[in-house]
A and B are shown apart, each in its own frame.
Chain A
Amino acid sequence: MIRPEEIKMSAEETGKWGMVIDQDICTGCQACVAACAMENNITFVGEVDSGYGRSMHWIRIERFWEGEYPEVKMTPQQPMMCQQCGHANCEPVCPAFATVHSQAEQLNLQVYNRCVGTRYCANNCPYQVRAFNWRDYQRPEPLQNQFNPDVTVRRMGVMEKCTFCIQRIHKAQDTAKSEGREVRDGEFTTACAQACPANAIVFGRVDQPESLVSQLKHRRHGVKHLEELGTLPNVTYIKGG
């Protein structure tokens, strides 16, 4: 028999890598969006498609207005990216195993080459953070020279999403391994966190209590988005702290 208190619903047990986003200090400058696009070889969609809802970003800054005119108030900027759920909705619904759970890194992987483009994962993502390659978009000269060689270039018809810059994770792990040590907290970070001028994004190990990300997450009242769905997200938002 399982007693009710034995059923664990919190994310504490799951997850390895995590992120804390401080909405109080986020200025909405979009530096993270640009850095992410550069780091991860994200294509340029152009204004027509972007305006229609096909913008291709792995991270987006959400901004809302509260109240009725003229009493309008802006809510804090809300950077939104893949929450790297511990219990991800996107994973089981893919017929081709194109999005799977990494047992080693506790991340949601997207395997571009397996994707056949049914778009079920994107539909089932409560955070709506997956981006689909609706077309083969042009990459104007000389932008082809800035491809990041560590990241696959995706073509038309496949789904993609934030990977927590897994190429950086692996690079740091390889370096640490060759030097015979563990990866140190703060040794590397994701492109978005690196680019943030306000240091609103902090990335690190959530399974190590002494790491900055764990301390931030516990110190102030962090919120996880749509936690009530049981998705066990690994991104914590701090607001009104």
Chain B
Amino acid sequence: MAEKVDLLAVFPDLEPAANAVERLRALGVHDDRMNVISGVPVTEAMLGRAPQWTNVPRIAMGGAILGFGVGVFLAYIAPFLYPYPIQVSTQGFVPGPPTAVVLFEMTMLGMLLSTFLGVFLESFFPNYRPMKYLPEISDGKIVVFFECAYAEENKITDALKKLGAESVRPAEAQPL
């Protein structure tokens, strides 16, 4: 079994980081073994990486449908749940136009709550375990975390340094 080693490379800027990703791929590090962490939303396209999959829009849609269901319940079912429905003025038990208000608000509430929840689910928040991280990231550095064969460590380190890496060193999970 080939020994694997976790490394990180710190880049001051987007350009060298993107080059480094390309170089790592050429050196045989698979995309799945790489993780780029940055302090601004650097898109996958800028780094030349495959688009990230996110379920947030689907979760939002699901929440919207759920919220709409709650709205339907409140507007059309709830008035008849108890032994006698209540008459106000000459309006029907289910008021016409006002149901639109209820359906709208409940749909939006469901959608927005689930969008928020979706971020938590998709990003595994909250998560307070030690993780691979460098505080410099929030200062604008871009850090590429990757895993490579022990034998290739030196070769890759040299290559990344040539591309402008400020430092390449072993990565360790640490409390954030």
A80-113 residues at the B interface, CB under 8 angstroms = 86-89, 91-92, 94, 97, 99-101, 103
How many residue pairs link A and B with beta carbons under 8 A? The number is 23
B170 interface residue per 8 A CB criterion: no
Q: Are B89 and A88 in contact (CB under 8 A)?
A: yes
Q: Are A103 and B89 in contact (CB under 8 A)?
A: no
Q: Are A97 and B89 in contact (CB under 8 A)?
A: no
B88 interface residue per 8 A CB criterion: yes
Which residues in A have their C-beta under 8 angstroms from that of B89?
Answer: 87-89, 91-92, 101
Which residues in A have their C-beta under 8 angstroms from that of B88?
Answer: 88, 91-92, 94, 97, 99-101
Interface size on B, residues (CB 8 A): 7
A58-100 residues at the B interface, CB under 8 angstroms = 86-89, 91-92, 94, 97, 99-100
3 nearest A-B pairs in the assembled complex, by CB-CB distance = A91-B88, A101-B87, A91-B89
Min CB distance, B80 to chain A, in Å? Answer: 14
Q: A92-B95, A101-B88 are in contact. List 11 more A-B contacts (CB 8 A).
A: A86-B90, A87-B89, A87-B90, A88-B88, A91-B88, A91-B89, A92-B89, A94-B88, A99-B88, A100-B86, A103-B87
Instruction: Please report whether the interface of chain B is mostly helix, strand, loop or mixed according to DSSP.
Output: loop
> Could you say which interface size class chain A belongs to?
10 to 19
Q: How far is the CA of A101 from the CA of B91 in the complex (A)?
A: 10
Complex interface bits, B36-56 against A, C-beta within 8 A gives 1, otherwise 0: 000000000000000000000
Q: Which of B86, B87, B89 counts the most chain A CB atoms within 10 A?
A: B89
B72-110 residues at the A interface, CB under 8 angstroms = 86-91, 95
Nearest chain B residue, comparing its CB with the CB of A97: B86
B114-154 residues at the A interface, CB under 8 angstroms = none
Min CB distance, B62 to chain A, in Å? Answer: 30
Partner of B91, one of A92, A94, A99: A92
21 contacts between A and B (CB under 8 A): A86-B90, A87-B89, A87-B90, A88-B88, A88-B89, A89-B89, A91-B88, A91-B89, A92-B88, A92-B89, A92-B91, A92-B95, A94-B88, A97-B86, A97-B88, A99-B88, A100-B87, A100-B88, A101-B87, A101-B88, A103-B87
Which residues in B have their C-beta under 8 angstroms from that of A97?
Answer: 86, 88
Min CB distance, B55 to chain A, in Å? Answer: 37
Min CB distance, A24 to chain B, in Å? Answer: 32
